[in-house]
Amino acid sequence: MFLRMQAPLNHQLHHLCRISVLLTLAFGTSFVHAQSNGLTLNEALQLSIQRSSLTKAANASVLASRESSAKADQLPDPMLKVGIDNLPVTGSDRYSTTSDFMTMRRVGIEQQWVSSDKRAARSERAQRAVEMEESTYLETIAKVREEAAKAWVNVLYGQRTLALVSAMEKEAAADLNAMNAAHRGAKANASDVMQAQLTLSQAQDATRKNTQDLRNARLALSRWTGMPAATVADETPKLTSHVPGLPVEELEKYHPMLLTARRAINLADADSTVATRESNPDWSIEASYSQRGSQYSNMVSFGISIPLAVNRAQKQNRDIAEKSALGTKARMQYEEALRELQTEIENQSSTLDSLKSRVVQLNTQLLPPASQQVELATAAYRSGAGSLSAVFNAKKVLLERRLQIVELEKEAALTWAALEYHVIPHDMVSAGELK
């Protein structure tokens, strides 16, 4: 940035104050984009759920599992059996169905009978499978919401950063014009002009870079919202999360990772119950009607088929032991998931608090001195006691401090989004979002 060499000192101080106002606006809640003219965070979250193909696919899986569970307690379809018994294939009566008294035309029906306990166990297992699909659906919702929130945050702070560097570029251009005029009036030397040109070039490069970064951030947001890349409302998120205060019972309901781990235990227990019930064989009941020649009596037959459990220790008992071991595995995975989640929540909460504290420290302890240093360097240069490079360095430090604040605010907001939006809202689950 460059100072207007031909202006009086009081005008220069006014000019610097105007710069400070422009820079401050880049971080305030009242930005160049009014809230009503940009995409709010809540709107982005709603659009991400409504338009995400991932959530629609996960919901389709839930519907499919529900349809599958509806038939789990049904008996197998009966089997129609038609045949010919004792058909002669030699002699004068070969291939005749009426000549030999032993030849019978038979029609019957066979029904496999599954006990009510076994069917109830299968139905329970199917319901547990539905719940697993529902937890997968909730995981997808959480992922989409979290990614949409992060994308929105990146656009928000991309806008603020670009506004900051753009304001600085405009000031650098104005200062270069003033410096050229001063040089023509023999009030500035060639090195001052070159320094002004260098500062403008650096500002222009920063503007181009941040413009591209913002474009990329908007494209990422549009990927989750299904809308063209747009401006977001300048609303600073309240970086407070209710997640660290949730008890384990609440986390099991609303945190997809822990919910999935708990439901995996339920599914494993249901599998174990099914294996125990399946160790008992299913009977098959058969009834048939046999017709012989007109001179012979017709016959009715009944029968029951019972599978014989041969070597139960190596078959059925092995299945039961397998499902029991998988149940133990599910419980250990739940314990590990709980510890991992609690550690993750604690780390994210601690990181968020640290970042918020650093932002406050920069705003209260580092930013004011940097602003004052710009004023002091400017006054010293006007009085002939300082150098132009000192003014430039002071302005550079001020810009770096403001950019540092933006970056820390962005990092804090991203940490908050990862913490807050990986949990499904209570009202979303209780309102029956699974359809």
- Strand ranges, E, within 64-183: 79-85, 104-113
Percent of the chain with pLDDT over 70: 89
In this prediction, residue 19 carries a pLDDT of: 34
Are 153 and 410 in contact by the 8 Å Cβ rule? The answer is: yes
Are 403 and 164 in contact by the 8 Å Cβ rule? The answer is: yes
Of 189, 176, 192, the closest CA to residue 389 belongs to 192
In this prediction, residue 435 carries a pLDDT of: 46
β-sheet bridge partners, residue 39: 232
Segment 52-56 shows an average pLDDT of: 86
Q: Give the start-to-end residue ranges of the domains of the chain.
A: 9-74+115-280+311-430
Whether residue 264 has pLDDT greater than 90:
yes
pLDDT band (50, 70, 90) for residue 307: confident
Structure letter (DSSP) for residue 243: G
In this prediction, residue 152 carries a pLDDT of: 96
What is the rounded distance in angstroms from the CA atom of residue 378 to the CA atom of residue 400?
Answer: 18
In this prediction, residue 193 carries a pLDDT of: 81
Task: Please state, rounded to an integer, the average pLDDT across all residues of the chain.
Answer: 83
Q: Which of 12-21, 67-76, 403-412 is the least confident region?
A: 12-21
Segment 9-36 shows an average pLDDT of: 35
Segment 241-246 shows an average pLDDT of: 88
Segment 14-26 shows an average pLDDT of: 35
In one-letter notation, the amino acid at residue 403 is: L
pLDDT band (50, 70, 90) for residue 296: confident
Whether residue 15 has pLDDT greater than 60:
no
Q: Which of 85-94, 318-327, 361-370 is the least confident region?
A: 85-94
In this prediction, residue 280 carries a pLDDT of: 85
- What are the tokens at 322? 């397998």
Residue partners of 168: CB distance under 8 A and separation at least 6:
1, 19, 23, 203, 206, 399
In this prediction, residue 18 carries a pLDDT of: 40
What is the rounded distance in angstroms from the CA atom of residue 253 to the CA atom of residue 131?
Answer: 12
What is the rounded distance in angstroms from the CA atom of residue 397 to the CA atom of residue 388?
Answer: 14
Whether residue 409 has pLDDT greater than 50:
yes
What is the rounded distance in angstroms from the CA atom of residue 385 to the CA atom of residue 380?
Answer: 5
- What are the tokens at 164? 């900051």
Residue partners of 341: CB distance under 8 A and separation at least 6:
251, 255, 257, 258
pLDDT band (50, 70, 90) for residue 288: very high
What is the rounded distance in angstroms from the CA atom of residue 127 to the CA atom of residue 203?
Answer: 62
Segment 215-238 shows an average pLDDT of: 89
pLDDT band (50, 70, 90) for residue 430: low
What is the rounded distance in angstroms from the CA atom of residue 46 to the CA atom of residue 27?
Answer: 26
Whether residue 148 has pLDDT greater than 90:
yes
What is the rounded distance in angstroms from the CA atom of residue 357 to the CA atom of residue 401?
Answer: 15
Segment 168-172 shows an average pLDDT of: 84
The enclosing H or E element of 301 equals strand 299-305
pLDDT per residue as tens digits for the range 57-111: 988 988 998 888 888 888 888 999 999 988 888 888 887 877 778 888 899 999 9
Are 359 and 412 in contact by the 8 Å Cβ rule? The answer is: yes
Q: Which of 30-39, 117-126, 131-140, 405-414 is the least confident region?
A: 30-39
Of 84, 87, 80, 102, the closest CA to residue 287 belongs to 80
What is the rounded distance in angstroms from the CA atom of residue 168 to the CA atom of residue 178?
Answer: 15
In CATH, what is the architecture of 9-74+115-280+311-430? Up-down Bundle (1.20)
Whether residue 393 has pLDDT greater than 60:
yes
Whether residue 314 has pLDDT greater than 90:
no
